[in-house]
Each structure stands twice: as structure tokens, then as C-alpha cells.
Amino acid sequence: QVQLVESGGGLVQPGGSLSLSCVASTSTFDVMAWFRQAPGKQRDLVASITPNGSTYYPSSDKGRFTISIDAPKSTVYLQTNSLRPEDTAVYYCTVIVSGTQYWGQGTQVTVSS
């Protein structure tokens, strides 16, 4: 069983920034990623990264969000900039290890003035 622990969420004003972190209890994985889920909506992919640092952003958020990894520390980061109220959601870290997907408990990001 792989454990994931997210941190870094909170309340931020529109236009602000937050840096989210996720520490995994495994040093080997296929891919790590961040998803987010707003109330009443589906859980959507924000960004993903492979062990060699290849990244994928599925939407226009690429310019505001940046995923990075510290592989020796088994830690993945999500830098979020120019935050908007519609970015309010629970942000989840996930990792795929040998085809099995594991989820963290999520960290709340609230963008409000």
C-alpha cells in the first residue's frame, strides 16, 4: 500500500499563488499527478509528471500551473499562480505504481476575496 500526504492548501485571494506538495511512500512509480475536484463536479486532471520529468497539462491551466518533482525525496509539487475563484477545489495527489493507482486525502484550495 502506497501512502500519499499532501500539504500546502489554504485560502488565497484572487491573483495569488500557492505551492502544493505531495510526499509518496514509494521511490519508484510510473507517473505522479495532481487532480482537482470542485463541489458537484467530476475530478479532473491538472498535471502529471513521469520519473524522468516529462510533464503533461491537459488544459489552458498550463500557463498558470507548474508540476515538478524531487525524485530522491519522492515528492511532487504543484505551483499554482494567478489563482481564480474557479480554481477553488480539493486538490488530490495520485501515483501509479506498477499499474495500481493510489490517492492522497486531498488538500483544500479556496480562492476568495
pLDDT tens profile 68-95: 999 888 899 999 999 999 999 999 999 9
Q: pLDDT at position 112, please?
A: 96
Name beta bridge partners: 10.
Answer: 109
24 neighbors 77 (Cβ within 8 angstroms) = no
pLDDT at 20: 98
- Locus of grid cell 508540476: 67
Grouping H, G, I as helix, E, B as strand and the rest as coil, residue 52 is coil
Query: Alpha helix (H) ranges present in 10-77?
Result: none
pLDDT at residue 102 in the model? 97
User: How many CB atoms within 10 Å of residue 70?
Assistant: 11
- Per-residue pLDDT, 64: 93
Cβ-proximal residues to 42 (8 Å cutoff; 6+ apart), any chain: none
Residue ranges of the chain whose pLDDT lies below 70: 60-62
What pLDDT shows up at residue 63?
86
At 50 the pLDDT is: 93
Rounded distance between C-alpha atoms, residue 92 and residue 96, angstroms: 13
